[in-house]
Amino acid sequence: MQSLLILNGPNLNLLGTRQTEVYGDTTLAAIETMCLTKAKACGCNVTCLQSNHEGELVEAIHAARDVHDGIVLNAGAYTHTSVALMDAISSVSIPCVELHLSNIHAREEFRHKSFIAPVAVGQICGFGPKGYDLAIDAMLSYLGQST
């Protein structure tokens, strides 16, 4: 059975109340429940984790080794700044799908650069919470499991 780590970065704990015009009104808890339901339907395991701290995200990626088959990463603002996350993904050799609720390419120019994209198998952005379902499907397909 495949196992995925759904890893969420800074400020995503405020979903549902933070900039709802950009991120919508769905809470992180609701997204995590949606991910668990999706995983069950697909016959895989999912572990959800959120941290506002870059080092904790790096440690979670390291700890995913020999535990998870894939990572779905919404690194939030660290997408555009964190060489450490990029290096962590490269170091563990676990496929990663980069995910964003909003379309980062239609927003401020500084959001157009992703340090995660060069080490990810793909990127999903702009579909709101539905992006998590899409990312799980994409990762499972990449791993050779039909959804």
- Positions in the chain whose pLDDT score sits under 70: 146-147
Known catalytic membership, residue 100:
yes
Give the pLDDT of residue 147.
56
Give the pLDDT of residue 58.
98
- For residue 45, give every residue at least 6 positions away whose Cβ sits within 8 Å of its Cβ, in sequence order, or none: 1, 2, 3, 4, 39
On whether the 8-76+87-142 domain is CATH 3.90.1170.30, my answer is: no
Known catalytic membership, residue 78:
no
Name the active-site residue from 23, 68, 78, 132.
23
Name the active-site residue from 68, 78, 100, 132.
100
Pairwise CA distance, residues 98 & 86, whole Å: 11
Segment 21-53, tens digit of pLDDT: 777 789 999 999 999 999 999 999 999 999 999
Domain coordinates of the chain in residue numbers? 8-76+87-142
Give the pLDDT of residue 146.
62
